[in-house]
A and B are shown apart, each in its own frame.
Chain A
Amino acid sequence: MEFSELIKTAKVENVLLSGPGVPAVKGTLCITSHHLLLSSQPGGDGEQGTVELWLLIRNVDAVEKRFASSSGTITLKCKDLRVLQLEIPGMEECLNIASSIEALSSVESVMMMYPFFYRPHSMKLEQGWHLYLPHHYYQQVVAETSAWRLSSVNRDFATCPTYPSAIIVPAVVDDEALRKIAHFRQGGRFPVLSYYHKKNQTVMLRSGQPLMGPNKKRCQEDELLLKAALCGRARGFVIDTRSAQAAKQARMTGGGSEPKAAYLGWKRLHRPLERGRPLQESFMKLVEACNDPSLGMDRWLSKLESSKWLSHVKAALSTACLAAQCMEREEACILVHGAEGTDTTLLVTALAQVILDPDCRTLVGFQHLLEREWIQAGHPFHLRCAHSAYSHARLKQEAPVFLLFLDCVGQLGRQFPFSLEFSERLLLALFENSYASAYGTFLCNSEKERSLCKVKETTHSLWSWLNQPNQQKEYLNPLYSYNALVIWPSVEPQSLQLWQGLFLQWIRSSQYLDEAWAEIQRLVEGSETPTRTNGAAHSQLLLPH
């Protein structure tokens, strides 16, 4: 396929661009393989036109057309929730532009996506890909406790297609047993270590559901693995992210949940979390309510309520806190799973780590966590983030699980404003990049797919861009100071807030809030300037002239 076949009209003059909060501009619209550009017409005195819009076409979630007599208006609804309007003179041009954008934004093949073509001068390929290998984390754990070992059973992704090649399991369980267990767990996702709580040597594991089926099949190796994971402790908790009834029903389709009798010492706790289509619909309803200017005060609140989004935030945070509480206060080991173990499971394990572990709350530590608990752990980003809240396309497997995680982290940041090293801006950047990106980090559904597509060899990593010094500064929280404690959030409705920075980003002006943020930066950095300028002076002296 050639991109040029999809582009029916590459250039139109006199297009009027308008969007919320910015004055409308007229200019020339161009479509390239991956971008939509609008450059304003140069002024009368020979000045250069400036680029007003530089939109990644992959970012377009829905295209809507409306026609007047001789012109048409295209409304572009983007995955980052922005809504833009293009008024295009000429019916045919308008139709062509719309269908070109539609075609280009829905290209299915991963290899045709922008990250494979993006070659910025300032960065080297392969740079960020080795920053955060989960492997390193597992080695640290193994160095601390002899009860766990690194296994290469999943080399070439043979045992579990959605796991990375490096995984960590109880030392007493050999690779042969792991292969057997893989057959007993959905998607081959046998229980692996997700987090080691140094403070009291408890562990958190995650997996897919056990494939018990209606006949209550058992797997001795699986039982042994979980017994070994207890490391001699009396108790462990299985946190199942489905209701007890749903878990029971899952047996009819071959799944299930660990029976008490077979797993001594393990107790099951059911905490149903929404997933899949209901979660996607919740997201869509919320965005619709935010974009509806006709709502009165009353109807706004009931729309917010009926979207259920904040209920999902509360449920996710509560469950993560429960997991954290089991480890920190009960000193028990835990295993988290739902059905596949790739969505709500990761939501809970990742969130619990942010709550428990101060290292996950640093800028670098958080990237480590995302790489280990979301990307390498096999969250199917490609499927889940194929469409955002506006798309009219038939929903397949879209679900904003990762967005829900980011929202929950934001709630933690609001309740503990000094305890996260990164700011809301990082969360926003992660949201945007998970839906449409110039970088390869969130491409594909698993390590296996990324390896097949040669993502690491042929695209740039988001991390190497984020960690450039000038970028990093953008994402830092000026108020941060290391907090060794566990951060227990409040999950009361009075404490949970709509994430305005995301859901209202394009709807309300954030000028005054941005100014406040700048003022905070100024205050905090002002108090540090004397030392900083001194430092700068010193380093200048060291430079040879």
Chain B
Amino acid sequence: MEHIRTPKVENVRFIDRISSRKAALGTLYLTATHVIFVENVSETRKETWILHSQISSIEKQATTATGCPLLIRCKNFQIIQLIIPQERDCHDVYISLIRLTRPVKYEELYCFSFNPKLDKEEREQGWKLVDLNEEYNRMGIPNNYWQISDVNREYGVCDSYPTEVYVPRSATAHIIVGSSKFRSRRRFPALSYYCKDNHASICRSSQPLSGFSARCLEDEQMLQAIRKANPGSDFIYVVDTRPKLNAMANRAAGKGYENEDNYSNIKFQFIGIENIHVMRNSLQKMLEVCELRSPSISDFLWGLENSGWLKHIKAIMDAGIFIAKAVAEEGVSVLVHCSDGWDRTAQVCSVASLLLDPYYRTLKGFMVLIEKDWVSFGHKFNHRYGNLDGDPKEISPVIDQFIECVWQLMEQFPCAFEFNERFLIHIQHHIYSCQFGNFLCNSQKERRELKIQERTYSLWAHLWKNRVDYMNPLYRADHGQTQGTLHPQTAPCNFLYKFWSGMYNRFEKGMHPRQSVIDYLMAVKEETQQLEEELEVLEERLSNLKKVQVNNNKVKNMQQDRNKALRLSASNNSIANTPQEYSNNLKSFPSRSPSQGDEEDSALILTQDNLKSSDPDLSATSDQESGVEDLNCRSPSGGCLPSEDSGKDPDSDEAVFLTA
């Protein structure tokens, strides 16, 4: 609390997204964990809560007649503008936020104060939801070829690896330790995924310390052990996910890549995914495009191309596709690495696993996948997502890219995933929110030292509890798309990669489809299920009563009524809509300064986020708009709806046209 210079500022104007022309007047509060804005409008007192950990940058803009603007960019891609009347207050808020959004100790993070009112037992249960031993058992391990090794207990060999590592049976402790000494940060080859059906596996490691000519017998034996663990194949692929040039440059520093001559029976392959710095800049460029106000199609497409973002996404996907193909079709094991083996390697291994195994496309399986390839293998969440104040050059959207790969696959295979887009968005949100302990720190070792499981709650349990919100209605366990390996179209396929506005323009509600198919279908699905159950009960009674005719009609009528009611509720909720700015001709349609805002455009666009604010943490941290109130006045019982909002805002467009 000592960092808060001013806990409360009144008469602040607040704009919650780029496209909004409306500024709300209200009071700003700073707390130890959140920025809170409460609107003055007395009936609603709408609140917006923003977690400090979500804030990525704060920018003081030039003072205007209305006050001093602060631009806040969030890691979940929300952009907020605050206009504070007094320069002095603005400065205090700015200085306070600069400190608050850069915590220096883990204990300052929200998860240590967040209390969802669960008892100790529930918390422990929550942490047990995802169990990696169980997952390796599911893969069929340990077996004749693979075993669990305790070589890393107490993190004695590699401090960024988990204590329990799966390795080939023929790899002795001597070989593992020897190999680890020949690998960056001692990240020796370990099992990521094993395919029961053909014994092919995906292993991961860091780069070898080969320099220009160094060799390591144990490392060579390690790779041989991996090959022998797959009796069906006489070679393994070694996939270096870096561009060849980067890998060669590393040789000068005594690192590098495997020399095919020194390792028996390997096939070496570069894939060419760029490093974290390139990716950080690429995202930055893409977000600049997303921030443009009413860009032309050309501005947008040029900007998108120039950012290179989709090219990078495709590169990651291509690597995953290559590995999945090697494992599923050729039956060949693959060893994947990049430099340290915790960024690109994690991306590629998890994309490949997702393509190969339908289990990872279920809600539970996806949690397991992130736990396996990201959390347990020491992906540096703290550094990459800037949870604690640190080197800004370490920050990079590595897991964001993986999440986007999943979304791109969902677009191509709409029936293949048990979960929906909202699930991905909420996971992304919580990777940055630090509300749950799962993604704290840089390794398992650090998390254990901090006693995360005893002091914080697990996100997985929270998501699992609300799983109804995250279900994809088109998913059926017996559907063709849910079986076996996914084969994304490879060539030509550039046009299959699309900009994900649901993520990067998540808060620009007006851009998204105004009616949610997923929510409607989910409602239909639930309703159908209920009806079937009721029907069963009634049929049973019917046969008892033997009054077939009368009751049958009753059932039928009831079903009809229900169907009607269902459609009404599902459609009315999501229809409301309002015209937008349809002119790009600024001469005749002058853009107005935010302070003039009388445009009633925020309350009316009801999308899934409003309808589904059942996720309590999100409703606290994201903006709720006034969707709930609007829903009430839009109930079907209200009869035929008047045109969206004509009554509320008669003169906004008039003003626009008069100047035309």
- A297 interfacial contact with B, CB 8 Å: yes
Q: Which of B301, B412, B497 contacts A302 (CB 8 A)?
A: B301
- Pair B308/A293 contact, Cβ less than 8 Å: no
- B322 interfacial contact with A, CB 8 Å: no
Interface residues of B in 497-530 (CB under 8 A from A): 497-499, 501, 505, 508, 510-515, 517, 520-521, 524-525, 527-528
Separation of A530 and B577 alpha carbons in the complex (Å): 34
Minimum CB distance partner of A292 in chain B: B492
Whole-angstrom distance between the Cβ of A328 and the nearest chain B Cβ: 7
Separation of A357 and B393 alpha carbons in the complex (Å): 54
- A311 interfacial contact with B, CB 8 Å: yes
- Pair B414/A512 contact, Cβ less than 8 Å: yes
- A524 interfacial contact with B, CB 8 Å: yes
- Pair B297/A526 contact, Cβ less than 8 Å: no
Separation of A292 and B492 alpha carbons in the complex (Å): 8
Minimum CB distance partner of A529 in chain B: B528
- B489 interfacial contact with A, CB 8 Å: yes
Query: Quick one: given A302-B305, A322-B582, A486-B644, are A493 and B481 in contact (CB under 8 Å)?
Result: no
Query: Quick one: given A417-B515, A526-B528, are A491 and B580 in contact (CB under 8 Å)?
Result: yes
| Residues in chain A near residue B525, CB distance under 8 A | 523, 527
- A391 interfacial contact with B, CB 8 Å: no
Query: Quick one: given A297-B311, A305-B301, are A492 and B643 in contact (CB under 8 Å)?
Result: no
One digit per residue, 1 when the CB lies within 8 angstroms of any chain A CB and 0 when it does not, for chain B 293-311 equals: 0111111111011001011
- A370 interfacial contact with B, CB 8 Å: no
One digit per residue, 1 when the CB lies within 8 angstroms of any chain B CB and 0 when it does not, for chain A 504-519 equals: 1001110011011001
- Pair B646/A329 contact, Cβ less than 8 Å: yes
Whole-angstrom distance between the Cβ of B148 and the nearest chain A Cβ: 38
Minimum CB distance partner of A530 in chain B: B559
Most A-side CB within 10 Å, residue of B310, B494, B580: B494
- Pair A297/B314 contact, Cβ less than 8 Å: yes
- Pair B495/A290 contact, Cβ less than 8 Å: yes
- Pair B556/A269 contact, Cβ less than 8 Å: no
| Residues in chain B near residue A330, CB distance under 8 A | 653-654, 657
- A298 interfacial contact with B, CB 8 Å: yes
Query: Quick one: given A418-B571, A479-B517, are A493 and B495 in contact (CB under 8 Å)?
Result: no
Query: How many A residues are at the interface, by size bracket?
Result: 35 or more
Query: Which one, A252-260, A380-388, A494-502, is touching chain B?
Result: A494-502
Separation of A302 and B314 alpha carbons in the complex (Å): 16
One digit per residue, 1 when the CB lies within 8 angstroms of any chain A CB and 0 when it does not, for chain B 467-505 equals: 000000110100111000000010111111111010001
Whole-angstrom distance between the Cβ of A329 and the nearest chain B Cβ: 5
- Pair A524/B524 contact, Cβ less than 8 Å: yes
- A55 interfacial contact with B, CB 8 Å: no
- Pair B305/A301 contact, Cβ less than 8 Å: yes
| Residues in chain A near residue B567, CB distance under 8 A | 481
- B74 interfacial contact with A, CB 8 Å: no
- A116 interfacial contact with B, CB 8 Å: no
Interface residues of B in 343-377 (CB under 8 A from A): none
Separation of A498 and B411 alpha carbons in the complex (Å): 14
- A296 interfacial contact with B, CB 8 Å: yes
- Pair B527/A527 contact, Cβ less than 8 Å: yes
- B560 interfacial contact with A, CB 8 Å: yes
- A325 interfacial contact with B, CB 8 Å: yes
- Pair A311/B297 contact, Cβ less than 8 Å: yes
- B44 interfacial contact with A, CB 8 Å: no
- Pair A485/B577 contact, Cβ less than 8 Å: yes
- B143 interfacial contact with A, CB 8 Å: no
- B588 interfacial contact with A, CB 8 Å: yes
- A146 interfacial contact with B, CB 8 Å: no
Separation of A497 and B585 alpha carbons in the complex (Å): 22
Whole-angstrom distance between the Cβ of A31 and the nearest chain B Cβ: 32
- Pair A496/B579 contact, Cβ less than 8 Å: no
Interface residues of B in 388-426 (CB under 8 A from A): 412-416
- Pair A318/B514 contact, Cβ less than 8 Å: no
| Residues in chain A near residue B297, CB distance under 8 A | 305, 308, 310-311, 314, 493, 496
- B531 interfacial contact with A, CB 8 Å: yes
Q: Which of A486, A497, A513, A534 contacts B498 (CB 8 A)?
A: A497
| Residues in chain A near residue B511, CB distance under 8 A | 490, 492, 494-495
Whole-angstrom distance between the Cβ of A290 and the nearest chain B Cβ: 7
Query: Quick one: given A488-B580, A504-B495, A507-B492, are A512 and B415 in contact (CB under 8 Å)?
Result: yes
Separation of A518 and B2 alpha carbons in the complex (Å): 59
- Pair A523/B473 contact, Cβ less than 8 Å: yes
- Pair A295/B535 contact, Cβ less than 8 Å: no
| Residues in chain A near residue B563, CB distance under 8 A | 527-528, 531
- B584 interfacial contact with A, CB 8 Å: yes
Ordered by A's residue number, 22 sampled pairs between the chains whose C-beta atoms are within 8 Å are A271-B585, A295-B492, A297-B311, A298-B308, A301-B304, A301-B305, A311-B296, A321-B580, A325-B579, A415-B513, A416-B514, A417-B515, A418-B574, A485-B577, A488-B580, A492-B508, A498-B495, A500-B495, A508-B495, A509-B489, A512-B416, A524-B524
15 A-B pairs besides A504-B495, A528-B563 with CB distance below 8 A are A301-B302, A305-B301, A311-B296, A322-B582, A416-B577, A484-B641, A487-B577, A488-B578, A490-B510, A494-B300, A512-B412, A512-B414, A515-B415, A520-B521, A527-B563
Report, nearest first, the 7 A-B pairs whose CB atoms are least far apart.
A493-B300, A516-B414, A301-B305, A305-B301, A300-B494, A297-B311, A293-B492
